Amino acid sequence: MTTLMKKIKYPFCLLFLVWLGSPVLTLAGPPPNIPIPVEASKPTSRHVARTLITTGTLLPFDSAQIASDIPGRITNIHFQSGTQVKANQLLIELDNITQQAELSKAEAEVIQTQAKTERILTLFDKGTGSQQDKEVAIANLAVVKAQAQIAKANFAKTQITAPFSGIIGLKDVSPGDYVTPGETLVNLEDISQLKVDFYLPQVDAASVKVGQKIQITVDAYPDKTFQSFLSAIDPMLDITARRLHGRSIVQNAEGLLKPGMFVRLSLVLEEKDNALTIPEEAILLEKTQAFVYILEDQHAKKVPVNTGKREEGWVEILTGLTPDNFVITSGLMRVQDGTLVNNIIKTK
């Protein structure tokens, strides 16, 4: 026997033993009737909200630049900068000597003309006055009354009042200053509630409706959420960017929010109180179709599902499961449709 044959004799013997199925070298797997250990649990019912996230800017609910309608000199200022004022509260007085005199004259003419008219009407009733005198007297009375109304309106223009309740701005004028018509004297802002203007892509136009809830956060109060709602939608989209313009109203009774603040909005499109959710690791994908394995008669059953909202750790299931299904969440690498399984941690 040559040296070469001696070297290859034992390897051939080893292969021969394997071919005979020697128990010493057989590497067989577990019997097919041994179940695969898995973990499974029922879907969890929870409150789920489908939202859109965007940003916006806070605006005063009402805003006005207080100005004078007539030229004149300021005689009195009746407010302090940054204070609350009420609607129709007197803010600024202009010199009104001329307007007061014109009003007094007009009111005296009304009294005089009224008396004259009554005398003419009395004579007419007695048959001694003419129809023409009666008509002229009534017309003259109407004229002087109108002139008195004009004088009264001109006098009122010297009394500059607040058009609505709000916070008055910083005072930049003083008594003695001469003002011209339209010149801004101070600003007035109603911030008891604020408007929030924001934009959404046109693709979301069908989902957005007036009255939907909105949650607002601002950098100044990172741990606080302000509740609001969608109050109005502009019927015309922004042509340049093809965006939907929405407006929200947020209450500001505490005065924490200020006009001009940058805000983040979460628009709630849909809410469900008893949505079915499962752990995200239970979801598997086959091309574009999501599916899960459920327990059925101690076997794994492959079930296609439609998913909804996703959050860290869980996924909403829209269709495909019932609250009584046990969904396999662990051991999925060894599971196929029809695999015999044993749920080692079965949540009831």
- pLDDT tens string, the chain, 348 residues long: the values are 444 444 444 444 444 434 444 444 444 444 567 899 999 999 999 988 888 899 999 999 999 999 999 999 999 999 999 999 999 999 999 999 999 999 999 999 999 999 999 999 988 888 887 888 889 999 999 999 999 999 999 999 999 999 999 999 999 899 999 999 999 999 999 999 999 999 998 888 888 999 999 999 999 999 999 999 999 999 998 888 889 999 999 999 999 999 999 999 999 888 888 899 999 999 999 988 999 999 999 999 999 999 988 888 899 999 999 999 999 999 899 899 999 998 876 554
Going from the N-terminus, what domains does the chain have, and what CATH number goes with each? 36-46+274-346 (2.40.420.20), 52-61+191-272 (2.40.30.170), 96-157 (1.10.287.470)
Residue listed under structure tokens 């051991």 = 331
Give whole-number Cα distances, 269 to 35, 107, 124, 207, 215, in Å.
Answer: 45, 62, 75, 7, 12
Here the tokens at position 200 are: 């959404």
Q: How far is it, in rounded angstroms, from Cα 241 to Cα 91?
A: 43
Q: CA-based angle 84:90:93, to the nearest 5?
A: 130
Q: CA-based angle 16:22:25, to the nearest 5?
A: 95
Here the tokens at position 309 are: 């909202």
CA dihedral (115, 119, 121, 123) in degrees, to 10, reads 180
Find the distance separating the first CA and the last CA of the chain, reported in whole Å.
73
